[in-house]
Amino acid sequence: MQTIDSNTFLYAVLGDPVSHSLSPFMYNSAFIHIGYNGVYLAFNVKGRELASAISGIKALGIRGASITIPHKVAVMEFLDELDEKALKIGAVNTIVNRDGKLFGYNTDCLGATNALLEKTDIKDKDVVILGSGGAARAIGFGIVSEGGKLTILGVLKDEGEKLAKDLGVNYYHLSELGNIDCSILINATPVGMTPDTKAMPVQRQDLKKEMVVMDIVYNPIKTRLLKEAEDLGCITVDGASMFVYQGVAQFEMWTEKKAPVDIMRNTVMAALGK
């Protein structure tokens, strides 16, 4: 049983929404497993409250935080220092509080590429990312770094074109998917996430059985996109893999201890009923 006392280190996830988040399950089970005196909580933070929330991290001595949708880009201006990779990506999903100074990092990039590399090579593959937010930025950076031939598709023209320019790749409207070579398709939007589980970011006819299809949504673990892709015979990569890999990197940054990867993965799968 975990004992919470005045020496317990506090960690948090900030996002909107966060009611679906499995981060508290994952990190708290990991803390207990290694005997670390820490606790992790979820805080729903609206965009207008983000600056105050980040100030609160300092004021309350919160040791670290996960940043999720929709704050991964906006949070950067409120931090004291940014890691070089996070700066290049242009998005932060991890905050480490070192003596009242907040450092921003990005572990989404590593999480996504590790999850993909379990199932497929990336180098020289035609990769399409759906979306242009903070997660798409991180994943796109990872794909380009691994030698993938990337295209960004979306519905937010200005945001999409900026991301494409930053990565040195092309941007097209989502409706162009059928006209673009695609070996690996990655959904980097929240479409299909609980509670809107019937939604899909693309049409079934846009999927081809030769594709590897990845969805960063992890709740539900098998989104409608992944179900449709599986039915066609596609190789699929669920969001839980990326979620766990990025979480392992966060855990080790915060605690400076080796993460219990299997415990974290099993906790997430159990929470998802798998």
- Tokens of residue 111, six digits: 């999480």
Query: What are the residue numbers of the active site?
Result: 72
For 152, residues 6+ apart whose C-beta sits below 8 A from its C-beta are 128, 129, 132, 136, 140, 160, 163, 164, 167, 169, 170, 171, 172
Query: What's the sign of the alpha-carbon dihedral 201, 205, 206, 212?
Result: positive
Q: How far is CA 125 from the centre of its chain?
A: 22
Residue 76, SS3 per DSSP: helix
Cis peptide leading into residue 70 (ω within 30°): yes
Q: Are 130 and 246 in contact (CB under 8 A)?
A: no
Q: List b or e across 57-86, with b for residues whose CB sees 16 or more CB atoms inside 10 angstroms.
A: beeeebbbbbbbbbbbbbbbebbeebbebb
